[in-house]
Amino acid sequence: MSEVPRPSRERLTELFLMLTRVSSPSRSERAVADVVRSCLASCGVEIHEDHTGDVIGGDCGNLWCVVRGEGSGPHLALGAHLDTVPATDSLEPVLDEAGVFRNSRPAILGADDKAAIAAMLHATELLKASGEPFPSYELLFTVSEETGLVGVKHLAEDVLESPLAAVLDSSGPVGGVVVKAPSMVNLRATFRGRAAHAGVEPERGRSAVQAAAKAIASMHLGRLDRETSANVGVIHGGVATNVVPDLCEILGECRGHDEDRLAAVSAEMVDAVQRAAVEAGVDVDVELVHEFHAFALSARSPVVRLAKAAIVALGREPSMLTAGGGSDANVLNGRGLPTINLDTGMMRVHSPEEHLSLDQLEQLCLLVLHLIRLAPDHIPRAGSVVGGL
Ligand SMILES: [Zn+2]
C-alpha cells in the first residue's frame, strides 16, 4: 500500500451528520454504537462488545474490532469515544455555506468525538472497498470517556493486540500531536457539623459550611506552577438561612505532569480540609481518587515518529503538544501501550460554538489512512524500549 484512497466528502458529510444527530451522553451510547456496528458490518467487519455497560450502569459497552488486511498484525489501534457531554438543546447539525459543521440549536455539535468516529469508519470503508492490500489495524470505541475515562478503565488489558495506539480526541487543527498529558487527582471532602436554629440557639450548632469555607480559603488554588494547577469547583451545603448547616461537601481537583509534586499538592489540600474541620469543631471525611496518570512520550518513540511521518505525508507540519486534560491515551499509556492523542480539527468543544470544517474532517480521514499505511514501518523491534515514558 504505497498510496491511500481518496476520501469522499459527500460520504464523510453523510456519516458525520448521521452520527451527530444521535444523542449519546455518557452511559447512553447504544444508539450511536448501533450506527458504528451497522456501518462496519456493511463492509464485512465484525465488532465485539464488552460488558462495561452492565458494570457501570450504562446501556452499551466498549466496542472494538480488528480490520484484517494483508500480512501479520494488527500494527496500530485507533481509538475514539462514543459518548458526548450532555447537550443543552436538541441536536440538529448542519453543514453551512462556509463548509463548517455546526449545531443549528444552541448546544454542542458532538464533533468530540464523532469527527474521529466518522474518519475511522470512512477510512475502513475505503480500504475494504479498494481491493488493494492494506496493513491490519484495530478500532476501539470507548464509552463514558467524558465522565472520567470510565470506559477505557474497564477495558480488559488483553483486548488490544497492536503494539502502538493513536487516540483521536484532541481539539485543534489536524497536525497536532499530544505527546504529554498531566496526571489528575480528584478530591471530595464531606464536612459534618451539627444543625441548630440559627436565631434561637446558634451556639448549639457547628457549621459545616463555615468549615468548608475556611478549608477553601486556606488552599493554594489556580495555576501553582507551569505544570501544576488546583481547583475547587463544586460546593454543596445547607438547607435554609435560619439553620446552622450540618452538612457541606466540596469537590476539587489538582493536576500536573510531575507525580511527586502532584502528591504534595493533593496532600496540602487534604491538610487544609482537616485543619479547617478541627478549627470549626466538625467532622470530615476526605477522599482522594487518582483519576488518571501523566504520560510523556519522547520524540524517538516509534508512535511519535509514526504520527510525524503520517502528518508529513499529508503535507502538513507536525506540532508536538502538551495537553492540559486527560484522554483515553492516559490510561492506555499507563498500561504500557504507547499512545498518542491526535488533534482532529474539532474546535470550541463542550460549548454551543463547537464546530468542525469539512476540510478538516477530510484531512483527519486522510491522516487515519496514512497512519494505517505507515504503521508497519514503525512497529517497535523486539527488545527495544517502546514507551519512552
Ligand atoms: Zn473527547
* DSSP string for residues in 277-339: HHHHT-EEEEEEEEEE--EE--TTSHHHHHHHHHHHHTT---EEEE-SS--HHHHHHHTT--E
The b/e string for 332-343 (b: 16+ C-beta within 10 A; e otherwise) is: bbbeebbbbbbb
Q: Report pLDDT digits (tens) over 342-357.
A: 999 999 999 999 999 9
Beta partners for residue 246, in sequence order: none
Tell me, what DSSP letter sits at residue 198? T
Q: Ligand 1: distance of its center to the CA of 235 in Å?
A: 26
Q: Which residues make up the environment of ion ligand 1, defined by Cβ < 5 Å?
A: 112-113, 169
In angstroms, rounded to a whole number, what is the distance separating the alpha carbons of residues 63 and 46? Answer: 10
In angstroms, rounded to a whole number, what is the distance separating the alpha carbons of residues 141 and 82? Answer: 6
pTM of the entire predicted model: 0.90
pLDDT at 383 over 70: no
SS (H, E, C) 351-383: CCCCEEEHHHHHHHHHHHHHHHHHHHHHCCCCC
User: Average model confidence (pLDDT) for the chain?
Assistant: 95
Q: What is the pLDDT of residue 1?
A: 65
On whether the CB atoms of residues 321 and 178 are closer than 8 A, the answer is yes
Cell of 296: 510523556
Q: Report pLDDT digits (tens) over 276-333.
A: 999 999 999 999 999 999 999 999 999 999 999 999 999 999 999 999 889 999 999 9
Only one residue has cell 455546526, namely: 102
Q: Ligand 1: distance of its center to the CA of 42 in Å?
A: 26
The confidence band for 79, taking pLDDT boundaries of 50, 70 and 90, is: very high
Q: Ligand 1: distance of its center to the CA of 199 in Å?
A: 50
The confidence band for 3, taking pLDDT boundaries of 50, 70 and 90, is: confident
Q: Ligand 1: distance of its center to the CA of 243 in Å?
A: 42
Q: What is the pLDDT of residue 385?
A: 47
The CA distances from residue 151 to 29, 182, 187, 349, in Å, are 11, 19, 21, 20
Q: Report pLDDT digits (tens) over 12-28.
A: 999 999 999 999 999 99
- For the chain, the C-alpha Rg in angstroms (whole number) is 24
Length of the chain: 389
Nearest residue to 341 (alpha-carbon basis) of 169, 172, 181 = 169
Nearest residue to 63 (alpha-carbon basis) of 76, 75, 81 = 81
User: Cα(first)–Cα(last) distance of the chain, in Å?
Assistant: 31
Q: Ligand 1: distance of its center to the CA of 359 in Å?
A: 20
Q: Ligand 1: distance of its center to the CA of 230 in Å?
A: 22
Domains of the chain, earliest start first: 9-181+294-378 (3.40.630.10), 183-292 (3.30.70.360)
Cell of 278: 478541627
Q: Ligand 1: distance of its center to the CA of 116 in Å?
A: 9
Q: Ligand 1: distance of its center to the CA of 171 in Å?
A: 8
On whether the CB atoms of residues 286 and 321 are closer than 8 A, the answer is no
Identify the H or E element spanning 270.
helix 259-280
The confidence band for 382, taking pLDDT boundaries of 50, 70 and 90, is: low
Q: What is the pLDDT of residue 389?
A: 42
Nearest residue to 281 (alpha-carbon basis) of 172, 357, 381, 207 = 207
Q: Report pLDDT digits (tens) over 57-77.
A: 999 999 999 999 988 889 999
Q: Which residues are catalytic?
A: 83, 145
Q: Ligand 1: distance of its center to the CA of 147 in Å?
A: 10
Q: Ligand 1: distance of its center to the CA of 83 in Å?
A: 8
